[in-house]
Amino acid sequence: MTRKVGIIIHPGFQLLDAAGPAAAFELAEGFCVGSYMLEILAPGGGEIESSSGMRLAARPLSMEEPLDTAIISGGEIIRSMAAAQEIVAWLRRTGVRRTASVCTGAYLLAEAGLLDGRRATTHWWSTHDFARRYPAVKLDAERIFVRDGSVWTSAGISAGIDLALALIEDDLGPVIARRVAQQLVVHQRRPGGQSQFSALVELGGRTGRFIGLIEWMRTALAQPLTVECLADRAAMSPRHFARAFKAETGTTPAKAVERIRLESARIAVETGPMSLDRIAEESGFGDAGRMRRAFLRSFGQPPQALRRAAAISRNGGR
**Residue where a domain terminates, one of 182, 212, 241:** 182
The pLDDT confidence band at residue 279, using thresholds 50, 70 and 90, is very high
When pLDDT is averaged across residues 254-275 and rounded to a whole number, the result is 89
Q: State the pLDDT at residue 298.
A: 78
- Same domain? For 284 and 151 the reply is no
Domain-located, residue 193: no
Q: Which of 154, 254, 245 is nearest to 194 (CA)?
A: 154
CB 293 within 8 A of CB 302: no
Give the gyration radius of the chain's Cα atoms. 22
- Same domain? For 150 and 226 the reply is no
**Residue where a domain terminates, one of 155, 182, 209:** 182
Looking at 147-197, list the stretches that DSSP marks H as alpha helix, in order from N- to C-terminal side: 159-172, 174-184
- Same domain? For 11 and 151 the reply is yes
Domain-located, residue 189: no
Domain-located, residue 187: no
- Same domain? For 155 and 8 the reply is yes
The pLDDT confidence band at residue 313, using thresholds 50, 70 and 90, is low
Choose the weakest-confidence range: 74-78, 85-89, 259-263: 259-263
As a whole number of angstroms, the distance between CA 297 and CA 255 comes to 12
CB 150 within 8 A of CB 109: no
Q: State the pLDDT at residue 203.
A: 57
The pLDDT confidence band at residue 189, using thresholds 50, 70 and 90, is low
Q: Which of 255, 26, 129, 306 is nearest to 245 (CA)?
A: 255
Percent of the chain topping pLDDT 90 = 67
Which residues, 6 or more positions from 38, have their beta carbon under 8 angstroms from its beta carbon?
5, 7, 22, 25, 26, 29
Kindly give the pairing relationship between strand 151-154 and strand 55-60.
unpaired
- Same domain? For 24 and 111 the reply is yes
Give the residue numbers spanning the domain of 207.
Answer: 198-314
Domain-located, residue 191: no
Residue 307 vs residue 228, higher pLDDT: 228
- Same domain? For 149 and 281 the reply is no
Find which of 66-75, 119-128, 166-175 is predicted with most confidence, using mean pLDDT. Answer: 66-75
- Same domain? For 174 and 238 the reply is no
Q: Which of 275, 260, 280 is nearest to 307 (CA)?
A: 275
As a whole number of angstroms, the distance between CA 211 and CA 209 comes to 6
- Same domain? For 1 and 138 the reply is yes
13 pLDDT higher than 80? yes
142 pLDDT higher than 70? no
- Same domain? For 176 and 254 the reply is no
When pLDDT is averaged across residues 7-11 and rounded to a whole number, the result is 98
- Same domain? For 171 and 212 the reply is no
The pLDDT confidence band at residue 241, using thresholds 50, 70 and 90, is very high
When pLDDT is averaged across residues 152-156 and rounded to a whole number, the result is 91
Domain-located, residue 218: yes
- Same domain? For 70 and 123 the reply is yes
- Same domain? For 119 and 257 the reply is no
* Number of independent structural domains in the chain: 2
When pLDDT is averaged across residues 22-27 and rounded to a whole number, the result is 97
216 pLDDT higher than 70? yes
Choose the weakest-confidence range: 74-78, 114-118, 246-250, 300-304: 246-250
194 pLDDT higher than 50? no
Torsion of Cα atoms, 101 then 104 then 109 then 111, to 10° = -170
Q: State the pLDDT at residue 59.
A: 96
